[in-house]
Chain A
Amino acid sequence: MVMSKMLHLYLTVIMAIVKKDFRIELKNKEMIPLMFIFSLVVSLIFSFLDISFENIGGRNKDFYSGVFWISILFASILGFSRSTMIEKEAGGLMQYSTVPVDSSAVFFGKLIPNFIFLFLIQIFVYLFLLVFFRVQVFDRYFLLLLISSISLIGIASVGTFFSTLSAKTNLREIFLPILMFPILTPLIIASIKATSVLLNGREWGEAMDWLKLIVVYDLVSVTLASLLFEKLIEE
C-alpha cells in the first residue's frame, strides 16, 4: 500500500516536470526552432563539403550517417544547455533538491522532454539527408527511426546529466561539450556504424552488434545518471 503510494508520488513528480518543460516550450517556442535551424545549418555546411568532394548521392553512404549524427549532436548541445539555463535562471535547479521522492524522478522528468525534442529533430534531419544528399531514407524509415531513437536515449541521458553538472560551474553551458563528447564516444561510434549499415542498404542483421552496444550504453548511462543525480542537485 505504501509502495504503491510512493510509486504514484514518484510518477506525479516525473509528470509534473515533463509537463512543465512542455509548457515552457509551448509558450516560448524556443528550443525546437533553435535545434531545427541549427541542425539545418550543420547539414548545410556538410553539403558544401559533399559538393566539393563531388560525392552527392555517392555509392557509399557512411559519410551521410556521420552527417546525421554530427547534426543531431550539435543540435542537442544547444537544446540541453538552453533547457538547463532556463531552469537555472528561474532558480529551478535549486528547488529540485526539495522534491519529496528520490531525486532520480527529477532526472527522468528532465530526460523525457529532452528525448522527445531530439526525437522530433531527428525526423527533420533524416529529411535533410533526403533533400540535400539524395539519400533514400524512406526505404527503411521506421527501422532507421527505431535504431536512432534507441541511441537518442543515451544522448539524452548523458546530455541531461552533464548539462546540469556544467550549469553548476563558472563556465556554465560552454563547458558541456568538453565533458559530453568524450563520454559519448562509444555511443556515437556505434550509432554511426549502425545507421550506415541501414543507409547502405545492407542486411539489418549486420547492425545487431552495434545495436547491442547502444543498448548496453543506454542502460549504463541511464542507471549511473539516475543514481548520481541526487548527489548532483543537492546544495
Chain B
Amino acid sequence: MSVLVLFIFLMLIFSFVFLFKIEKGLNRWLGLMSVGSFAWALYSIFYVAKLDRFQSAPQKIFYIHVPSAWISFFAFFLVFIFSVKYLFSGRTKDDLLANSFAEVGVFFNTLVLITGPIWARPIWGVWWTWDARLTTSLILWLLYVGYLMLRSYVDEFERRARLSAILGIFAFLNVPIVHYSVLWWRTLHPAPVVIRSGGMADLPISMHIALWSSCLSVLLLFIFLVRKRFNIGELLNKF
C-alpha cells in the first residue's frame, strides 16, 4: 500500500515539474493548480472522507465518477451552445471551441463509463446493466464519438464546421428524449445523493469535502485541457 502511495506521490511531483517546465502563462497556473488540487482531493478522498457504512471502499470511486459525469454533461451542453453560435456567426473560433469541448467531454464521459462498471461489479454484482443513467451516458458517448468521427471524415474546413455544428445541435436536443425513454424503460441506478430537489442531501461533511475538492480539480483540469485543445486546433487551422 505504501508503495502505491509513494508511486502516486512521485507521479504528482513529476507532473508538477513537467507542467512547470513546458507550460507558460495562464495554462501553467491552471495546470499546476489542477495537479495541486488533485493531490488534495486524493488526500481527502482516502484520509478525510469516512468509509461508507454499506459500500465501504468501492464507494470511493464515486468522488471521481460523479465530477466527471457532471463535467462531461456540461461539456456537451457547451458543444450545443457553440454549435448554435457557429451557425449564426460563422466564426472559426466558435467551431474550434465546440470541437475542444466535444473532445474533452468524450474524455470525461469515457472516464465515467470506465469507473462506473468498476464500482458496479462489487456493489451490484454485474459490470453493466441497462439502467436509465448508464444507457443515457453510453448513448451520449456514442453520439459524441460520432461527432468526432464526422469531423475527421470531412476535409474542407467550412463544411466540416457546418456539418458538425448541425450534428452538435441535433445530438444535444435528442438527449432529454433519450433520457426519458430509457427512464421509463428501466431504472436501477442509485438516485442522486448529492443534489436533490429538496436541497443538499445529508452526506457527512467529510464526504462533502472530498467530493467538492475533487470537483474543483476536475473543473481545473477541464479548463486546462480545453484551452490546450483550442490552441492546438488554432495552430492546425493556421497551417
Are A213 and B184 closer than 8 Å at their CB atoms? Answer: yes
Instruction: Report the stretch among B41-49, B59-67, B175-183 that lies at the interface.
Output: B175-183
B155 in contact with A216 (CB, 8 Å): no
Least Cβ–Cβ distance between A215 and chain B, in angstroms: 11
On chain A, the residues within 8 Å of B162 by CB distance are 231-232, 234
Q: Are A189 and B142 in contact (CB under 8 A)?
A: no
Cα distance A5–B178 in the bound complex, in angstroms: 40
Question: Residues of B within 8 Å of A, CB-based: how many?
Answer: 29
**Docked complex: A140-199 residues within 8 A CB-CB of B:** 161, 165, 168-171, 175, 178-179, 181-183, 185-186, 189-190, 193
User: In the complex, which of the residues A186, A193, A213, A232 contacts B166, with contact meaning CB atoms closer than 8 Å?
Assistant: A232
Cα distance A5–B29 in the bound complex, in angstroms: 63
Interface SS of A by simple majority: helix
A186 to B139, CA, bound (A): 10
Indicate if the CB atoms of B150 and A186 lie closer than 8 Å: no
Give chain B interface residues in 142-192, CB to chain A under 8 Å.
142-143, 146, 149-150, 153-155, 159, 162-163, 165-167, 169-171, 173-174, 177-178, 180-182, 184-185
> Is the CB of A24 closer than 8 A to any CB of chain B?
no
B113 CB-CB contact with A under 8 Å: no
- For residue B151, give the distance in angstroms from its CB to the closest CB of chain A: 9
Which residues of the partner chain B approach A120 to less than 8 Å between Cβ atoms? none
**Which residues on the A side are within 8 Å of B149 (C-beta)?**
175, 178
Residues of B within 8 A of A169 (CB): 150, 153-154, 163
Instruction: Assess whether A139 is interfacial by the CB under 8 Å rule.
Output: no
Please give me the residue from chain B that is nearest to A214 by CB atom. Answer: B181
CB-CB under 8 A from B184, the residues of chain A are 209, 213
B139: contacting residue among A182, A216, A232, CB under 8 A: A182
Given contacts A182-B143, A185-B178, contact A165 B153 (CB under 8 A): no
Q: Are B170's CB and A228's CB within 8 A?
A: yes
Distance (Å) between the CB of A189 and the closest chain B CB? 5
Is the beta-carbon distance between A232 and B163 smaller than 8 angstroms?
A: yes
Residue on B with the closest CB to A188? B181
Task: List A contacts of B167 (CB < 8 A).
Answer: 165, 179
Q: Which residues of B contact A232 (CB under 8 A)?
A: 162-163, 166
For A165, the closest partner residue in chain B by CB is B163
B177 and chain A: residue at smallest CB distance: A186
Closest chain B residue, CB of each to CB of A181: B142
B51 adjacent to chain A (CB < 8 Å): no
Quick check: A183 and B143 within 8 Å, CB to CB? yes
Known: A169-B154, A170-B154, A220-B177. A183 touches B170 (CB 8 A): yes
A170 vs B152: C-alpha distance in the bound complex, in angstroms? 9
Indicate whether A94 reaches chain B with its CB closer than 8 angstroms: no
Q: Is B223 an interface residue (CB 8 A)?
A: no
| C-alpha gap A231/B165 in the complex (Å) | 10
Q: In whole Å, how far is A84's beta carbon from the nearest beta carbon of chain B?
A: 14
A183 and B159 in contact, given A169-B150, A213-B181, A231-B166 (Cβ under 8 angstroms): no
The answer to whether A213 touches B153 (Cβ under 8 A) is: no
Q: Does B87 reach chain A (CB closer than 8 Å)?
A: yes
B153 A185 Cβ-Cβ under 8 A: no
- In the assembled complex, the Cα of A186 lies from the Cα of B178 at a distance in Å of 5
> Does chain B have a CB within 8 A of A69?
no
Bound complex: CA of A189 vs CA of B135, how far in Å?
Answer: 12
Contact at B154–A185, with CB atoms within 8 Å? no
Contacts A183-B170, A186-B181, A189-B181; A170 near B142 (Cβ below 8 A): no
Knowing A168-B154, A183-B171, A224-B173 touch, does A189 contact B163 (C-beta < 8 A)? no
**A232's closest neighbor in chain B, by CB?**
B166
Q: Which residues from A are CB-within-8-Å of B166?
A: 165, 228, 231-232
Chain A residues with CB under 8 Å of B171's CB are: 183
- A186: nearest residue on chain B (CB-CB)? B181
Interface residues of B in 31-54 (CB under 8 A from A): none
Q: Which residues of B contact A190 (CB under 8 A)?
A: 181
Task: Tell me, rounded to whole Å, the shortest Cβ–Cβ distance linking A35 to chain B.
Answer: 24
Q: How far is the CA of A179 from the CA of B135 in the complex (A)?
A: 17
Top 4 A-B pairs, shortest CB-CB distance: A186-B181, A169-B153, A182-B142, A186-B177
Given contacts A171-B153, A183-B171, 20 further A-B contacts (CB under 8 A): A161-B170, A168-B159, A168-B163, A169-B163, A179-B150, A179-B167, A182-B142, A182-B143, A182-B146, A186-B180, A189-B182, A189-B185, A216-B177, A220-B177, A224-B169, A228-B169, A228-B170, A231-B87, A232-B162, A234-B162
